[in-house]
Amino acid sequence: ELRSKKTGRATFETLVRDTNDIEPWSRADSLQHCLSLIGYFDATAAVDATVRAKIAELGILSLDEHDGSTNLHWFVITAAQKRLTKNGKDYQVLRVAGDKGQTHNVFCWGASHSIDFPLLVPCVAEVSKSDFGFATSMPKLKIIGGKPKRNV
């Protein structure tokens, strides 16, 4: 059975009116929903256009474009796991994404368990690559537009 165009239009207008007071999602909420639903998001959407322009101007490449040398690279943290070395020292494994949507694990040495990294925020770090994957340390990691939170 075909529906009337007037009924469909009236239903649409009613839905628009009923949902008019709902706040739009923030950029972080939208990215978090994409990540949880499909496991992928565009990391460049998490980075402000002015920040992207400055990163490009400085010649900092995405972690997706890592060529094996120890250089500065940018990425977005999507998750962080707190771990201990066999000697009992704190470190964290960061799950990060680059501009091409590839996800990588980055070992962040010296990251205390009292530190909570902000998620879906752009970061720049001096990253090295070994047989175990990517690695950096806290002094070599810079969070753009924020700081890691310390749990006391």
Give the residue among 82, 62, 76 at the shortest CA–CA distance from 34.
Answer: 76
Span 79-134, pLDDT tens digits? 899 999 999 999 999 999 888 878 899 999 999 988 899 888 889 999 999 888 89
Span 129-152, pLDDT tens digits? 988 889 999 999 999 876 677 765
- pTM for the full model? 0.73
